């Protein structure tokens, strides 16, 4: 593996961020696994699984636009610290709800999931835009984003596996409680950071309508960003919600239990983790758009093979293979946007990306749950695999056409956008 894979960890602030988030995200994935398992165990409803995902992601997408403005106006570091403290409070409330309401806890879980979604609407734009400030060398930003994704997916590997063991051995309450405790390390790591003083935005520049118009105009006029957001949004709506159905695969198709669900979600995390490490080891000038199209094709192949496989070990191999490709949809999309956006618009443009991506995912989860109710779980996942294959081919065709246009059209001597597109 290329030694430059870990270059961004030389930056002290990013190293603190990386270590704190690593522990916290394990707890986050434990909670996500526990929520899916508890909701499906109580309701036996595929549709309610979609509702539980919708409850977290839809509020996040709605509030992300406001979160992007907050991230650009105010100190992103303080915004992130505040959202982590609020997430800790939400986790404690969720644990108490499970303790006191037991088998009647479904709607309490959904309400608290919606609260977490609102918090995430402010957390994600601040967190994503802050990464740029945590890295000492701007050339290491793609590496930092890829390592950040590897951290997320390593936690997705470990979190569900630990959750499956804890749910079976110690109970739901302990699983939710451990997530609450996991927020303490990330809060400590944020407090230990050394960042330059924030320069507040002049009040004369604070006009919500104008700030929104600036960001949407910038996206419209920037083809690399607009095409990336559209592609990621379609994948989020039509393909990525297949994970909503993993509890059904665990319980009904493989006749398993919470541990089975933890293993399935864990190997998805394993494949994505390997994919993130691969992205982190790419050379700085690698063609990320080409990698995105290729890995989406891999994702579609893996999902198609997984859909109707009833041999449990073989199914794990296929879903791991698909998850390797899946990683690119989130990581490269985020990286392409970060590379092409200006610092002043970073929070708002990222919040629009989050709005599209996170808004499409809960709608897709509801759609996936509803469709699977009529045509079956395996047929639904097969259709999602085919959709990933189709989108990868359409995106590759779009990229080829864009390159041909660049070759055919004369470029003026002074055109900074041409250098930006090649970045």
Q: How far apart are CA 336 and CA 229, in angstroms?
A: 10
What is the Cβ-side half-sphere exposure of residue 309, based on CA atoms within 13 angstroms? 15
Q: Provide the 10 A C-beta neighbour count for residue 182.
A: 25
Segments of the chain with pLDDT less than 70: 1-5, 153, 198-207, 284, 404-423
Encode pLDDT of 165-213 as tens digits. Answer: 888 888 888 888 899 999 999 999 999 988 777 656 555 456 677 877 8
Domain ranges of the chain: 10-191+211-405
Q: How far apart are CA 170 and CA 174, in angstroms?
A: 6
Q: How far apart are CA 70 and CA 135, in angstroms?
A: 21
Determine the pLDDT at residue 311.
92
Does the pTM surpass 0.85? The reply is: no
DSSP string, 153-180: HHHHHHHHHHHHHHHHHT-HHHHHHHHH
Q: Which helix (H) or strand (E) holds 254?
A: none
Rounded alpha-carbon distances, angstroms, from residue 214 to 175, 220, 225, 269: 44, 10, 14, 37
Please, which residues have CB within 8 angstroms of residue 411's CB and are 6 or more apart in sequence? Answer: 418
Q: Which helix (H) or strand (E) holds 103?
A: none
Determine the pLDDT at residue 57.
78
Query: What are the start-end ranges of the H helices in 242-311?
Result: 246-248, 258-280, 288-307
Q: CATH topology for 10-191+211-405?
A: Growth Hormone; Chain: A; (1.20.1250)
Q: Which of 307, 313, 319 is nearest to 379 (CA)?
A: 307
Encode pLDDT of 29-70 as tens digits. Answer: 888 888 888 888 888 887 787 788 788 878 887 888 888 888
Contact 175, 163 (CB under 8 A): yes
């Amino acid at each position: 593996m290329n030694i430059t894979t870990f270059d961004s960890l030389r930056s002290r602030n990013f190293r603190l961020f990386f270590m704190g988030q690593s522990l916290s995200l394990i707890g986050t994935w434990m909670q996500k696994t526990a929520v899916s398992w508890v909701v499906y165990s109580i309701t036996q409803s595929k549709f309610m699984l979609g509702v539980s995902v919708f409850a977290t992601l839809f509020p996040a997408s709605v509030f992300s636009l406001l979160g992007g403005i907050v991230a650009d106006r105010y100190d992103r570091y303080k915004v992130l610290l505040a959202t982590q403290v609020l997430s800790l409070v939400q986790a404690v409330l969720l644990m108490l709800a499970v303790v006191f309401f037991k088998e009647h806890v479904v709607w309490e879980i959904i309400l608290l999931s919606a609260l977490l979604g609102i918090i995430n609407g402010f957390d994600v734009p601040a967190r994503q835009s802050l990464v740029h400030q945590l890295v000492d060398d701007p050339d290491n930003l793609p590496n930092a984003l890829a390592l950040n994704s590897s951290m997320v997916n390593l936690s997705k590997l470990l979190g569900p596996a630990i959750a499956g063991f804890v749910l079976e051995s110690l109970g739901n309450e302990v699983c939710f409680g451990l997530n609450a405790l996991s927020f303490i390390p990330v809060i400590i790591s944020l407090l230990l950071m050394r960042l330059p003083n924030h320069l507040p935005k002049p009040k004369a520049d604070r006009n919500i309508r104008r700030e929104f118009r600036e960001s949407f105009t910038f996206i419209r006029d920037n083809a690399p960003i607009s095409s990336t957001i559209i592609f990621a949004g379609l994948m989020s709506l039509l393909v990525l919600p297949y994970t909503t159905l993993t509890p059904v695969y665990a319980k009904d198709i493989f006749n398993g239990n919470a541990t089975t669900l933890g293993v399935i979600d864990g190997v998805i995390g394993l494949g994505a983790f390997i994919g993130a490490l691969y992205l982190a080891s790419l050379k700085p000038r690698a063609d990320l758009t080409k990698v995105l199209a290729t890995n989406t094709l891999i994702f579609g192949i893996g999902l198609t093979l997984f859909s109707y496989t009833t041999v449990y070990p073989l199914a794990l191999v296929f879903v791991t293979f698909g998850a390797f490709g899946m990683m690119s949809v989130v990581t490269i999309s985020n990286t392409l946007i970060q590379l092409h956006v200006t610092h002043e618009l970073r929070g708002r443009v990222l919040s629009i990306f989050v709005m599209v991506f996170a808004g499409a995912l809960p709608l897709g989860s509801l759609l996936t749950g509803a469709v699977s109710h009529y045509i079956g779980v395996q047929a639904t996942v097969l259709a999602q695999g085919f959709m990933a294959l189709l989108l990868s081919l359409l995106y590759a065709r779009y990229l080829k056409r864009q390159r041909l246009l660049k070759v055919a059209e004369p470029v003026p001597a002074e055109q900074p956008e041409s250098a930006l597109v090649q970045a």
